[in-house]
Homo-oligomer: A and B are copies of this chain.
Amino acid sequence: MMSKIVDDYNTYRQKMNDKILAADNLVMKRFYNLDTNTYQDGALTSKTKEMLGFVASMVLRCDDCVKYHLQRCHEQGMTNEELFEIFAVANIVGGSIVIPHTRRALEFWEELHQ
């Protein structure tokens, strides 16, 4: 069963993305499409790419991007131990300002496991 917090996040994300795409701005549509293609299997697996997207979102401190990539990482089978090793990289590279985002990321990760 999906958690309400995860569901609300996905519903809002989908609703607003639909509106953005409906505006028919060609650059925006292509960028969204490109964003999706970026994380497909290649020389690196999709799982590794999602972990790269996740750590990048952590150090740039974008909570909503973190939530998006956490879901993809979860679907790709990322373990709890792997999560914390990525947290470690993000906190060391990005410093203590990453800590509040680590707290919120862990909370969302727990919601994904309900």
Contact = CB atoms under 8 A, between A and B. Distances in A.
Interface string A60-100: 11111100000000000001111011111111111111111
Contacts of A99: 32, 35, 64-65
Contact of A25 (B62, B65, B79, B85): B85
A112 interface: no
Contacts of A82: 43-44
* Chain A interface, >50% SS class: helix
Contact of A16 (B32, B86, B92, B107): B107
Interface residues of A, number: 64
Interface of A: 12-13, 16-17, 19-20, 23, 25-28, 30-32, 34-35, 37-39, 42-44, 48-49, 51-53, 55-65, 79-82, 84-100, 102-104, 106-107
